[in-house]
Structure 1
Amino acid sequence: MALTLFSYPGLFGLSDNNPYGLKVATFLKLCRLPFRHEHILDASTAPRGQLPFLDDDGVVVGDSDAIIAHLTRKFDLAIDRGLTPEQRRTDLLVRRMLDDLYWVMSYSRWRDDRFWPAFRDAFLAYHPQVEAALLEGARSYNFQRYHHQGIGRFEPEAAYERGLRDLEALAGLLGDGPFMFGQDVHGLDATVHGFLANIYFYEIDTPLRQAVQAAPNLAAHCHDLRALAAQGLTSAAGARAGVR
């Protein structure tokens, strides 16, 4: 078995500064599937020009959900085997909501002049081989994406209000947890971690980060999933044994 995950570079101690790549990396670790992680910036050769993508012995799969579905089928993974039909519907709805949160998170890094300098400087410090002009070009490109998607037409506070409502809904669904569907980890937890960790562990004090810090269950989920992924465990007991 030779699995290679291609995704964006890491930042602030995370293996990927993009939630979709971190989502897949976390899923692979939770399922104890060995893989090689290749960090790239140029997505031009990726399926549909998007990262992440997976190379499975020459079979290339793009899109984070498609990658997880491919791995689940091929290796008959048990992580979601016991989900009820209702839980599977919740899984889908939460993933779609996080797609909305993605745009607000990305906006906070690239579009908001209050936080862009901190993001730019941190990225260049972590990855000195990257030229500042490349990031400026990426920023201009993202401005176009935000305008066409719609989030770029919002003033910052109105944009953040969308993301804050997503986080409030997520905290309500998680409840006492510790995981999205109770005591055991499922694929949805890997997805949630990809997004929450890319907010919570960032050393940039955006309104989104403040909201996650203020929600004890969301913050605990960040720590627990990081500990579990590092150990390849999927139980609540394993999370409590991990170091926060």
Structure 2
Amino acid sequence: MLTLYSYPTLFGVADNNGYGLKVYAFLKLAGMPFLHEHIFDASKAPRGQLPYIVDDGETIGDSETIIAHVKHKYAVTMDDGLSEAQRDTDFLVTRLLDDLYWVMSYSRWQDERYWKQFRDALLREHPQLTEECLIAAKEFNAKRYYFQGIGRYEPDQAMARGLADLSVLAKLIPSIGFVHRPTPTTIDAAIYGFIANIYFYDIETPLKKFVGSHENMVRHCRAIHAAVSTPA
């Protein structure tokens, strides 16, 4: 059976990282049977990054590569019939979510307004962690942010970048149904992976306030959450 390796839960979502939750939601919506292993240590993962899967002895990393593998190998039909324009939209939204990821991560690990609350939530939900290991992770992430670029922003500037990303998503998500159809497609799973990690996040960041103020985003997030939180 396919096994998904990704970060642990936080605030009631199956993975506190947008990419892992995206893959989790995709597998659930596709009706794929799989095991889910939560880990913190990504050193054995392809490129040292989570999530990854092991499928019949084959190890595959990167959320988009994982999804493409599963679609091809198991003939997942979720996106059958999408137009070229819709697939182009999916590509662009996927890249937008890549940008949003850095702001979300920054808001947790680098923005001192929210860091202590995030740290305390991790320690509370995952007592095997220590404050020392989280400080080491914070320092490691600060280097990542600096070289990626987001770490050179002031906190409000970083949040403004994320709010711009969310503003585009708010225009894309419909008031009923899902992005392309009355039923979810892969891009809905991707959006959920990130929006759920903002909406259910129990710390009042500007990102969370924005999502909570948009009924269409809340409805979409809750609809996918309900669909993927029940047994397959």
Determine the structure 2 residue equivalent to 1:239: none
Determine the structure 2 residue equivalent to 1:84: 83
Determine the structure 2 residue equivalent to 1:151: 150
> For each residue in 1:64-96, what CA deviation from the matched residue of structure 2 results, as whole angstroms up to 9, or x when unmatched?
000000000001001011111000000000000
Structure 2: gaps (5+ residues): none
Determine the structure 1 residue equivalent to 2:59: 60
Determine the structure 2 residue equivalent to 1:28: 27
Determine the structure 1 residue equivalent to 2:209: 210
Alpha-carbon distance in 2 for matches of 1:126, 1:158: 30
SS in 1 for 2:3: strand
Once the two structures are superposed, the pairs formed by residues 1-244 of structure 1 within 5 Å of their partners are 2-231=1-230
Alpha-carbon distance in 2 for matches of 1:20, 1:177: 25
Deviation at 1:101, TM superposition (A): 0.3
Letter in 2 for 1:114: R
Alpha-carbon distance in 2 for matches of 1:94, 1:178: 18
1:43, 1:50 within 8 Å by CA — same for their partners in 2?
A: yes
Q: Percent identity?
A: 53
Normalising by structure 2, we get a TM-score of: 0.98
Count of residue correspondences: 232
Deviation at 1:173, TM superposition (A): 1.1
1:31, 1:232 within 8 Å by CA — same for their partners in 2?
A: no
Structure 1: gaps (5+ residues): 234-244
Deviation at 1:45, TM superposition (A): 0.8
Normalising by structure 1, we get a TM-score of: 0.93
> For each residue in 1:181-204, what CA deviation from the matched residue of structure 2 results, as whole angstroms up to 9, or x when unmatched?
131210000000000000000100
Alpha-carbon distance in 2 for matches of 1:133, 1:54: 29
Alpha-carbon distance in 1 for matches of 2:128, 2:228: 29
Letter in 1 for 2:171: G
SS in 2 for 1:108: helix
CA RMSD of aligned residues (A): 1.1
Alpha-carbon distance in 1 for matches of 2:3, 2:181: 31
Alpha-carbon distance in 1 for matches of 2:231, 2:124: 30
Deviation at 1:49, TM superposition (A): 0.7
Deviation at 1:232, TM superposition (A): 7.0
> For each residue in 1:208-238, what CA deviation from the matched residue of structure 2 results, as whole angstroms up to 9, or x when unmatched?
00000011101111100011123479xxxxx
SS in 1 for 2:81: coil
Moved over 6 A (4+): none
Alpha-carbon distance in 2 for matches of 1:156, 1:178: 35
Alpha-carbon distance in 2 for matches of 1:189, 1:34: 19
Alpha-carbon distance in 1 for matches of 2:157, 2:165: 13
Determine the structure 2 residue equivalent to 1:240: none
SS in 2 for 1:114: coil
SS in 2 for 1:74: helix
Letter in 2 for 1:131: T
SS in 2 for 1:33: coil
Alpha-carbon distance in 1 for matches of 2:132, 2:94: 33
1:11, 1:123 within 8 Å by CA — same for their partners in 2?
A: yes
Letter in 2 for 1:20: Y
Deviation at 1:130, TM superposition (A): 0.9
1:6, 1:54 within 8 Å by CA — same for their partners in 2?
A: yes
Letter in 1 for 2:3: T
Alpha-carbon distance in 2 for matches of 1:74, 1:232: 22
Deviation at 1:178, TM superposition (A): 2.5
